[in-house]
Structures are given as structure tokens and as C-alpha cells.
Amino acid sequence: MKLRSVGHWQYWPAGLAVVLLLVLLLAVGFVPRYFAHAQTDSAMGDLPQLRSSLLAEPNSVRGNWLRTLNPSVQDVQGDLVWNAAKQQGVMRFLNLPEPANGTFYQLWVYDSRSETGTPVSGAVFHQGSGIGEWLAPIQTQTPVSEPYKFELKLEVDDNRGAAQILLMVQP
């Protein structure tokens, strides 16, 4: 009786299945994270360049975020830069948590030359930075000449509750 020699070819379907399973696991685990990071970077557009140019301007004001006692922002780091002549600014965040449902972040800018003394909205956003670096533009509807304080607040949709001051910069 002669035995038929199958050789290594008998295992190719199982090997192919293992390789396809590994590719699928890698795609599910790593590809979305890679593309999410790439989308965040591309969504920032020219903000890194704008931030660098504003930091190089001698009349720009800048400062690091000062944390409040709110435990949700104890690990947040970052800074901001504002140039009154250009009426442009950029905020930088690390470890800013996602706001809870029904809330959002709003930056308020206080101007010492304001006639009313009321702060000016500088940004509204509905996302955090996660563990990576994230840049956000500062854009005001009203010109700000001499900012003396920037406050990042957690606001509640539809003004159903009081806003919480989370972070502050006093240049």
C-alpha cells in the first residue's frame, strides 16, 4: 500500500486563515487609531504654524493654563497665545477630557479696555484633546485690545446650569 504524500500544501488553508485573522485584528486595533490621529492633525490645519508665528511676535501675550481645584482637569496641561494686533490666538491642550453629554467648553477673554467689563467669547468646542496634543483657534467677534484673563469654562447646553471655571491664564 502506497501512502500519498501531501507535504506542506495540506496546511495552506489553515495558514491563510491565521494570516487573515491577524491582519483583521491589526486593522481593527491599530488602523482606526492611526487614522484618528491623522485626522486630528489635518483638522488642525495651519494652527501649528500660526501658533509658532504668534509666539515669535514680541507683542503677543502668552501663558500656561492654571488649573482650578476641579478634579476633572487635574492632568490638563497646555498654554495659549494671543496677539491683539492680529486679533488671533491659539490654545494648546494635553489631557483635556471630553465634555460630558449636554456640556461644552467655552473660552472667555477679559479685556481691560472693555467699556462694559463683560468677557468676550473666544472659542466654543465640543471635544477634548484626549492624551495627545490638540490645538484650537481663538476667534473673537469683538476686538480684544488688552486681555488680562482667559477662562476656559465647562458650559451647560441651553443654560440649564451654572458654568464651571476649569482653567485660566493670566498673562
Give the alpha-carbon dihedral of 33, 34, 35, 41, to 10 degrees.
Answer: 110
| Per-residue pLDDT tens over the stretch 31-62 | 333 333 333 343 457 999 999 999 999 999 99
What φ, ψ does residue 90 adopt, rounded to 5°? -140, 135
| Per-residue pLDDT tens over the stretch 91-146 | 999 999 999 999 999 999 999 999 999 999 999 999 998 888 999 999 999 999 99
Alpha carbons 125 and 8: distance in angstroms, whole number: 58
Please give the model's pTM, rounded to 2 decimal places: 0.72
3-state helix, strand, coil in the chain (%, to 5): 30, 35, 35
Residue position matching grid coordinates 500660526:
50
DSSP 31: H
